[in-house]
Amino acid sequence: MDIHEYQAKEILARFGVPVPKGGLAYSPEQAGYRSHELGGERWVVKAQIHSGGRGEAGGVRLCGSDKEIRDYAAELFGKRLVTRQSGAEGRLVGRVYVEEACEIAREIYFGLVLDRKTERIMIVASSAGGMEIEELSAEHPDTLLRMTVDPASGFLDYQARELAYGLGLDSGQVAEAAKIFRACYRAFRDLDATMVEINPLVTTARGNLLALDAKMSFDDNALFRHPEVSELRDMSQEDPMEAHAADRGLAYVALDGNIGCMINGAGLAMATMDMIKLSGGLPANFLDIGGGASPERVLSAFRLVLRDPKVEAILVNIFAGINRCDWVAEGVVQAFRKARIDIPVVVRLSGTNVAEGKRILAASGLPIITADTLAEAAERAVGAVARKAA
Protein backbone atom coordinates (compact mmCIF):
# COMPACT_ATOMS: atom_id res chain seq x y z
CA MET A 1 0.00 0.00 0.00
CA ASP A 2 1.29 3.45 -0.96
CA ILE A 3 0.55 6.67 0.90
CA HIS A 4 0.81 10.36 0.06
CA GLU A 5 3.88 12.52 0.60
CA TYR A 6 2.35 14.51 3.45
CA GLN A 7 1.35 11.28 5.22
CA ALA A 8 4.86 9.86 4.86
CA LYS A 9 6.29 13.08 6.29
CA GLU A 10 3.93 12.96 9.26
CA ILE A 11 5.02 9.40 10.01
CA LEU A 12 8.74 10.11 9.61
CA ALA A 13 8.45 13.26 11.74
CA ARG A 14 7.06 11.13 14.58
CA PHE A 15 10.22 9.04 14.39
CA GLY A 16 12.45 12.12 14.52
CA VAL A 17 13.03 13.08 10.88
CA PRO A 18 13.02 16.89 10.37
CA VAL A 19 10.53 18.04 7.71
CA PRO A 20 9.46 21.51 6.53
CA LYS A 21 6.29 22.99 7.99
CA GLY A 22 3.28 22.44 5.77
CA GLY A 23 -0.46 22.08 5.59
CA LEU A 24 -2.94 20.03 3.57
CA ALA A 25 -5.68 21.63 1.47
CA TYR A 26 -8.79 20.24 -0.21
CA SER A 27 -9.75 23.46 -2.03
CA PRO A 28 -7.99 26.46 -3.59
CA GLU A 29 -9.27 28.75 -0.81
CA GLN A 30 -7.92 26.43 1.86
CA ALA A 31 -4.57 26.25 0.03
CA GLY A 32 -4.33 30.05 0.05
CA TYR A 33 -5.16 30.15 3.76
CA ARG A 34 -2.33 27.72 4.52
CA SER A 35 0.23 30.37 3.50
CA HIS A 36 -1.04 32.67 6.26
CA GLU A 37 -0.83 29.85 8.79
CA LEU A 38 2.71 28.97 7.78
CA GLY A 39 4.02 32.50 7.45
CA GLY A 40 7.02 33.41 5.34
CA GLU A 41 7.28 34.83 1.82
CA ARG A 42 7.52 31.77 -0.45
CA TRP A 43 5.73 28.45 -0.46
CA VAL A 44 5.81 25.25 -2.49
CA VAL A 45 2.46 23.80 -3.64
CA LYS A 46 2.52 20.07 -4.41
CA ALA A 47 -0.14 17.86 -5.94
CA GLN A 48 -0.70 14.82 -3.72
CA ILE A 49 -0.84 11.75 -5.93
CA HIS A 50 0.70 8.28 -5.71
CA SER A 51 3.33 8.84 -8.37
CA GLY A 52 6.83 10.17 -8.77
CA GLY A 53 7.85 12.73 -11.37
CA ARG A 54 5.25 15.27 -10.26
CA GLY A 55 7.55 18.22 -10.82
CA GLU A 56 8.22 17.36 -14.47
CA ALA A 57 4.47 16.89 -15.02
CA GLY A 58 3.59 20.32 -13.63
CA GLY A 59 2.45 19.09 -10.22
CA VAL A 60 4.86 21.18 -8.11
CA ARG A 61 5.27 24.96 -8.15
CA LEU A 62 7.01 27.64 -6.10
CA CYS A 63 4.55 30.45 -5.25
CA GLY A 64 5.10 33.92 -3.82
CA SER A 65 1.58 34.99 -2.77
CA ASP A 66 -1.66 33.51 -1.52
CA LYS A 67 -3.35 34.51 -4.81
CA GLU A 68 -0.70 32.62 -6.77
CA ILE A 69 -1.26 29.62 -4.52
CA ARG A 70 -5.03 29.73 -5.01
CA ASP A 71 -4.76 30.11 -8.79
CA TYR A 72 -2.31 27.23 -9.12
CA ALA A 73 -4.32 25.00 -6.75
CA ALA A 74 -7.43 25.72 -8.83
CA GLU A 75 -5.57 24.36 -11.88
CA LEU A 76 -4.64 21.18 -10.02
CA PHE A 77 -7.88 20.17 -8.33
CA GLY A 78 -9.83 17.68 -10.42
CA LYS A 79 -6.97 17.34 -12.92
CA ARG A 80 -5.52 13.99 -13.91
CA LEU A 81 -1.80 14.48 -13.59
CA VAL A 82 0.10 12.29 -16.04
CA THR A 83 3.66 11.46 -15.02
CA ARG A 84 6.19 8.97 -16.32
CA GLN A 85 5.13 6.62 -13.50
CA SER A 86 1.35 7.12 -13.56
CA GLY A 87 0.46 5.57 -16.90
CA ALA A 88 -1.56 7.25 -19.63
CA GLU A 89 -4.65 7.73 -17.45
CA GLY A 90 -2.71 9.68 -14.82
CA ARG A 91 -3.74 10.20 -11.21
CA LEU A 92 -6.61 12.39 -10.03
CA VAL A 93 -5.58 15.36 -7.86
CA GLY A 94 -7.94 15.67 -4.90
CA ARG A 95 -5.65 17.35 -2.39
CA VAL A 96 -2.57 19.58 -2.38
CA TYR A 97 0.15 20.18 0.17
CA VAL A 98 1.38 23.71 0.84
CA GLU A 99 4.84 23.82 2.37
CA GLU A 100 7.25 26.53 3.43
CA ALA A 101 10.06 27.03 0.92
CA CYS A 102 13.69 26.77 1.95
CA GLU A 103 17.04 27.70 0.43
CA ILE A 104 18.69 24.50 -0.76
CA ALA A 105 22.45 24.16 -0.58
CA ARG A 106 22.70 20.51 -1.50
CA GLU A 107 20.47 17.51 -2.35
CA ILE A 108 20.97 13.90 -1.23
CA TYR A 109 19.11 10.70 -2.03
CA PHE A 110 18.35 8.24 0.79
CA GLY A 111 16.17 5.15 0.62
CA LEU A 112 15.45 1.83 2.26
CA VAL A 113 13.93 -1.08 0.39
CA LEU A 114 13.23 -4.73 1.10
CA ASP A 115 15.76 -6.70 -0.96
CA ARG A 116 14.23 -10.13 -1.53
CA LYS A 117 17.43 -11.50 -3.05
CA THR A 118 19.49 -11.02 0.13
CA GLU A 119 16.44 -11.20 2.45
CA ARG A 120 17.67 -8.03 4.08
CA ILE A 121 16.75 -4.38 4.28
CA MET A 122 18.88 -2.61 1.68
CA ILE A 123 19.94 1.00 2.20
CA VAL A 124 20.71 3.02 -0.92
CA ALA A 125 22.08 6.56 -0.80
CA SER A 126 23.61 9.01 -3.23
CA SER A 127 25.29 12.38 -3.03
CA ALA A 128 23.40 13.36 -6.21
CA GLY A 129 19.85 13.73 -4.90
CA GLY A 130 16.78 15.21 -6.56
CA MET A 131 16.79 12.61 -9.36
CA GLU A 132 14.81 9.39 -9.59
CA ILE A 133 16.79 6.35 -8.44
CA GLU A 134 16.56 4.85 -11.94
CA GLU A 135 18.24 7.96 -13.37
CA LEU A 136 20.88 7.90 -10.66
CA SER A 137 21.69 4.27 -11.44
CA ALA A 138 22.00 5.02 -15.14
CA GLU A 139 23.68 8.42 -15.09
CA HIS A 140 25.58 8.60 -11.79
CA PRO A 141 26.26 4.99 -10.69
CA ASP A 142 29.56 6.05 -9.07
CA THR A 143 27.65 8.14 -6.50
CA LEU A 144 25.53 5.25 -5.21
CA LEU A 145 26.26 3.77 -1.80
CA ARG A 146 24.64 0.49 -0.76
CA MET A 147 24.48 -1.18 2.61
CA THR A 148 22.53 -4.20 3.89
CA VAL A 149 21.23 -4.40 7.43
CA ASP A 150 21.69 -7.53 9.51
CA PRO A 151 18.26 -8.23 11.07
CA ALA A 152 19.91 -9.58 14.23
CA SER A 153 21.77 -6.35 15.03
CA GLY A 154 19.75 -3.75 13.13
CA PHE A 155 21.09 -0.52 11.65
CA LEU A 156 23.88 0.51 14.00
CA ASP A 157 25.21 3.98 14.85
CA TYR A 158 28.59 3.44 13.24
CA GLN A 159 26.94 2.29 10.01
CA ALA A 160 24.80 5.43 9.89
CA ARG A 161 27.86 7.63 10.51
CA GLU A 162 29.84 5.73 7.88
CA LEU A 163 27.05 6.36 5.38
CA ALA A 164 26.96 10.08 6.25
CA TYR A 165 30.73 10.40 5.76
CA GLY A 166 30.45 8.49 2.48
CA LEU A 167 27.95 11.08 1.23
CA GLY A 168 30.52 13.83 1.84
CA LEU A 169 28.58 15.66 4.53
CA ASP A 170 30.36 18.18 6.72
CA SER A 171 31.62 16.90 10.05
CA GLY A 172 29.03 19.03 11.84
CA GLN A 173 26.21 17.40 9.83
CA VAL A 174 27.26 13.77 10.26
CA ALA A 175 25.62 13.25 13.65
CA GLU A 176 22.34 14.82 12.48
CA ALA A 177 22.34 12.79 9.27
CA ALA A 178 23.04 9.56 11.16
CA LYS A 179 20.10 10.31 13.44
CA ILE A 180 17.82 10.81 10.41
CA PHE A 181 19.01 7.61 8.74
CA ARG A 182 18.35 5.54 11.87
CA ALA A 183 14.94 7.18 12.37
CA CYS A 184 13.98 6.13 8.82
CA TYR A 185 15.16 2.60 9.56
CA ARG A 186 13.03 2.42 12.73
CA ALA A 187 9.97 3.62 10.81
CA PHE A 188 10.63 1.00 8.13
CA ARG A 189 11.07 -1.80 10.66
CA ASP A 190 8.35 -0.90 13.15
CA LEU A 191 5.62 -0.29 10.56
CA ASP A 192 6.38 -3.23 8.23
CA ALA A 193 7.24 -0.93 5.34
CA THR A 194 8.57 -2.20 2.04
CA MET A 195 10.05 1.13 0.98
CA VAL A 196 11.06 4.43 2.58
CA GLU A 197 12.54 7.10 0.35
CA ILE A 198 13.64 10.67 1.02
CA ASN A 199 14.44 12.40 -2.25
CA PRO A 200 15.80 14.89 -1.76
CA LEU A 201 17.18 15.08 1.73
CA VAL A 202 18.56 18.61 1.57
CA THR A 203 21.06 20.69 3.45
CA THR A 204 19.75 24.24 3.79
CA ALA A 205 21.70 27.48 3.50
CA ARG A 206 21.97 27.40 7.30
CA GLY A 207 23.44 23.91 7.25
CA ASN A 208 20.37 22.08 8.57
CA LEU A 209 19.03 18.83 7.11
CA LEU A 210 15.41 18.55 5.93
CA ALA A 211 13.40 15.82 4.25
CA LEU A 212 12.01 17.82 1.35
CA ASP A 213 10.09 14.92 -0.20
CA ALA A 214 9.20 11.48 1.15
CA LYS A 215 7.59 8.25 0.00
CA MET A 216 6.54 5.17 1.94
CA SER A 217 5.02 1.85 0.90
CA PHE A 218 3.78 -0.89 3.22
CA ASP A 219 3.33 -4.64 3.16
CA ASP A 220 -0.40 -5.25 2.58
CA ASN A 221 -0.17 -8.53 4.49
CA ALA A 222 0.96 -6.72 7.65
CA LEU A 223 -1.59 -3.92 7.67
CA PHE A 224 -3.76 -5.75 10.21
CA ARG A 225 -0.99 -5.00 12.73
CA HIS A 226 -1.01 -1.28 11.91
CA PRO A 227 -4.56 0.12 11.72
CA GLU A 228 -3.13 3.64 11.97
CA VAL A 229 -1.35 3.01 8.66
CA SER A 230 -4.21 1.11 7.02
CA GLU A 231 -6.55 4.08 7.50
CA LEU A 232 -4.21 6.24 5.35
CA ARG A 233 -5.24 4.32 2.23
CA ASP A 234 -6.53 6.55 -0.58
CA MET A 235 -8.59 4.40 -2.93
CA SER A 236 -8.94 7.23 -5.44
CA GLN A 237 -5.27 6.67 -6.29
CA GLU A 238 -5.66 2.95 -6.92
CA ASP A 239 -6.78 1.04 -9.99
CA PRO A 240 -10.53 0.48 -9.37
CA MET A 241 -10.31 -3.17 -10.45
CA GLU A 242 -7.30 -3.89 -8.25
CA ALA A 243 -8.94 -2.14 -5.27
CA HIS A 244 -12.15 -4.13 -5.84
CA ALA A 245 -10.13 -7.36 -5.90
CA ALA A 246 -8.10 -6.52 -2.80
CA ASP A 247 -11.26 -5.83 -0.80
CA ARG A 248 -12.40 -9.38 -1.67
CA GLY A 249 -9.11 -11.05 -0.85
CA LEU A 250 -8.10 -11.59 -4.48
CA ALA A 251 -4.69 -10.78 -5.97
CA TYR A 252 -5.37 -8.97 -9.25
CA VAL A 253 -3.23 -6.99 -11.69
CA ALA A 254 -4.73 -5.55 -14.87
CA LEU A 255 -2.88 -6.15 -18.16
CA ASP A 256 -3.44 -5.10 -21.77
CA GLY A 257 -4.63 -8.36 -23.36
CA ASN A 258 -8.07 -9.86 -24.02
CA ILE A 259 -7.91 -13.31 -22.37
CA GLY A 260 -9.01 -13.16 -18.75
CA CYS A 261 -7.12 -15.46 -16.38
CA MET A 262 -8.37 -17.11 -13.20
CA ILE A 263 -5.74 -19.27 -11.51
CA ASN A 264 -4.77 -20.43 -8.03
CA GLY A 265 -1.16 -19.75 -7.14
CA ALA A 266 1.13 -16.97 -8.36
CA GLY A 267 3.61 -19.34 -10.03
CA LEU A 268 0.88 -21.15 -11.94
CA ALA A 269 -0.59 -17.78 -12.93
CA MET A 270 2.76 -16.68 -14.39
CA ALA A 271 3.10 -19.99 -16.26
CA THR A 272 -0.44 -19.66 -17.60
CA MET A 273 0.19 -16.15 -18.90
CA ASP A 274 3.40 -17.35 -20.55
CA MET A 275 1.52 -20.21 -22.22
CA ILE A 276 -1.15 -17.81 -23.51
CA LYS A 277 1.61 -15.66 -25.04
CA LEU A 278 3.28 -18.75 -26.50
CA SER A 279 -0.03 -19.71 -28.11
CA GLY A 280 -0.32 -16.32 -29.77
CA GLY A 281 -2.66 -14.60 -27.30
CA LEU A 282 -2.40 -11.83 -24.73
CA PRO A 283 -3.47 -12.17 -21.06
CA ALA A 284 -5.87 -9.50 -19.78
CA ASN A 285 -4.95 -9.88 -16.15
CA PHE A 286 -3.10 -11.67 -13.41
CA LEU A 287 -5.62 -13.14 -10.96
CA ASP A 288 -4.74 -15.50 -8.13
CA ILE A 289 -7.84 -16.74 -6.30
CA GLY A 290 -5.67 -18.36 -3.62
CA GLY A 291 -6.01 -21.64 -1.78
CA GLY A 292 -9.22 -23.05 -0.40
CA ALA A 293 -11.37 -21.05 -2.78
CA SER A 294 -15.10 -21.60 -2.20
CA PRO A 295 -17.68 -21.55 -5.01
CA GLU A 296 -18.63 -18.04 -3.84
CA ARG A 297 -15.01 -16.89 -4.14
CA VAL A 298 -14.82 -18.32 -7.66
CA LEU A 299 -18.02 -16.47 -8.54
CA SER A 300 -16.51 -13.21 -7.20
CA ALA A 301 -13.42 -13.81 -9.32
CA PHE A 302 -15.56 -14.31 -12.44
CA ARG A 303 -17.45 -11.09 -11.78
CA LEU A 304 -14.16 -9.25 -11.34
CA VAL A 305 -12.70 -10.49 -14.63
CA LEU A 306 -15.95 -9.73 -16.47
CA ARG A 307 -15.76 -6.09 -15.37
CA ASP A 308 -12.91 -5.60 -17.84
CA PRO A 309 -14.52 -4.71 -21.22
CA LYS A 310 -11.41 -5.91 -23.09
CA VAL A 311 -11.90 -9.54 -22.01
CA GLU A 312 -13.09 -11.73 -24.91
CA ALA A 313 -12.49 -15.15 -23.30
CA ILE A 314 -11.70 -16.51 -19.84
CA LEU A 315 -9.19 -19.24 -19.03
CA VAL A 316 -9.63 -20.99 -15.68
CA ASN A 317 -6.57 -23.03 -14.71
CA ILE A 318 -6.72 -24.76 -11.32
CA PHE A 319 -4.21 -27.16 -9.81
CA ALA A 320 -5.98 -28.23 -6.65
CA GLY A 321 -4.06 -29.05 -3.52
CA ILE A 322 -5.63 -27.05 -0.70
CA ASN A 323 -8.27 -26.14 -3.26
CA ARG A 324 -10.77 -28.70 -4.52
CA CYS A 325 -11.70 -29.09 -8.16
CA ASP A 326 -15.36 -29.73 -7.31
CA TRP A 327 -15.56 -26.38 -5.44
CA VAL A 328 -14.09 -24.58 -8.42
CA ALA A 329 -16.44 -26.39 -10.82
CA GLU A 330 -19.43 -25.40 -8.69
CA GLY A 331 -18.18 -21.79 -8.77
CA VAL A 332 -17.91 -21.88 -12.56
CA VAL A 333 -21.46 -23.21 -12.87
CA GLN A 334 -22.72 -20.53 -10.43
CA ALA A 335 -20.95 -17.86 -12.49
CA PHE A 336 -22.78 -18.94 -15.63
CA ARG A 337 -26.11 -18.89 -13.82
CA LYS A 338 -25.69 -15.71 -11.75
CA ALA A 339 -23.37 -13.57 -13.88
CA ARG A 340 -23.96 -12.62 -17.47
CA ILE A 341 -21.35 -14.64 -19.38
CA ASP A 342 -21.53 -14.31 -23.15
CA ILE A 343 -17.89 -15.04 -23.94
CA PRO A 344 -16.03 -18.38 -24.24
CA VAL A 345 -14.84 -19.96 -20.97
CA VAL A 346 -12.07 -22.57 -21.00
CA VAL A 347 -11.57 -24.65 -17.83
CA ARG A 348 -8.63 -26.88 -17.01
CA LEU A 349 -8.78 -28.73 -13.68
CA SER A 350 -6.16 -30.95 -12.06
CA GLY A 351 -5.55 -32.30 -8.56
CA THR A 352 -7.87 -32.89 -5.63
CA ASN A 353 -11.36 -34.16 -6.61
CA VAL A 354 -10.65 -33.58 -10.30
CA ALA A 355 -13.00 -36.38 -11.42
CA GLU A 356 -15.90 -34.86 -9.48
CA GLY A 357 -15.07 -31.41 -10.80
CA LYS A 358 -15.15 -32.60 -14.39
CA ARG A 359 -18.42 -34.46 -13.74
CA ILE A 360 -20.04 -31.25 -12.41
CA LEU A 361 -18.97 -29.30 -15.49
CA ALA A 362 -20.19 -32.02 -17.89
CA ALA A 363 -23.52 -32.44 -16.10
CA SER A 364 -24.24 -28.70 -16.10
CA GLY A 365 -25.09 -28.65 -19.80
CA LEU A 366 -23.37 -25.27 -20.09
CA PRO A 367 -21.13 -24.24 -23.03
CA ILE A 368 -17.91 -24.69 -21.05
CA ILE A 369 -14.80 -25.63 -23.02
CA THR A 370 -12.65 -28.11 -21.07
CA ALA A 371 -8.99 -29.07 -21.44
CA ASP A 372 -6.70 -31.63 -19.84
CA THR A 373 -3.38 -29.74 -20.06
CA LEU A 374 -2.30 -26.12 -19.73
CA ALA A 375 -1.01 -26.02 -23.32
CA GLU A 376 -4.33 -27.34 -24.59
CA ALA A 377 -6.28 -24.85 -22.47
CA ALA A 378 -4.22 -21.89 -23.73
CA GLU A 379 -4.60 -22.96 -27.36
CA ARG A 380 -8.37 -23.34 -26.96
CA ALA A 381 -8.71 -19.92 -25.30
CA VAL A 382 -6.68 -18.23 -28.05
CA GLY A 383 -8.62 -20.14 -30.69
CA ALA A 384 -11.95 -19.14 -29.16
CA VAL A 385 -10.98 -15.45 -29.35
CA ALA A 386 -9.87 -15.87 -32.99
CA ARG A 387 -13.14 -17.55 -33.95
CA LYS A 388 -15.14 -14.84 -32.22
CA ALA A 389 -13.22 -12.16 -34.12
CA ALA A 390 -13.81 -13.96 -37.39
Residues with a catalytic annotation lie at 109, 197
Q: Residue 42 annotated as binding?
A: no
Q: Residue 264 annotated as binding?
A: yes
What distance lies between CA 262 and its chain's CA centroid? 21
* Residues 115, 92: Cα–Cα separation, whole Å: 31
Neighbours of 103 (CB within 10 A): 9
Q: Residue 291 annotated as binding?
A: no
Q: Residue 99 annotated as binding?
A: yes
* Residues 364, 134: Cα–Cα separation, whole Å: 53
Q: Residue 213 annotated as binding?
A: yes
Strand partners, 207: none
Taking phi over 0 as left and psi of -120 to 50 as alpha, with beta for the rest, 87 belongs to left
Q: Are strands 368-371 and 345-351 parallel, antiparallel or unpaired?
A: parallel
Taking phi over 0 as left and psi of -120 to 50 as alpha, with beta for the rest, 77 belongs to beta
Residues near 117 by Cβ (< 8 Å), separated by ≥ 6?
none
Neighbours of 352 (CB within 10 A): 18
* Residues 66, 42: Cα–Cα separation, whole Å: 9
Q: Residue 64 annotated as binding?
A: no
Q: Residue 29 annotated as binding?
A: no
* Residues 57, 135: Cα–Cα separation, whole Å: 16
* Residues 122, 129: Cα–Cα separation, whole Å: 18
Q: Residue 258 annotated as binding?
A: no
Q: What are phi and psi of 378, to 5 degrees?
A: -65, -45
Q: Residue 242 annotated as binding?
A: no
For residues 17 and 55, the answer to whether their CB atoms sit within 8 Å is: no
Q: Residue 102 annotated as binding?
A: yes
CA distances from 275 to 40, 50, 287, 382 (A): 61, 33, 15, 10
Q: Which residues are annotated as a binding site for substrate?
A: 264
Q: Which residues are annotated binding-site positions?
A: 46, 53-55, 99, 102, 107, 199, 213, 264
Q: What are the binding residues for Mg(2+)? A: 199, 213
Per the annotation, binding residues for ATP are 46, 53-55, 99, 102, 107
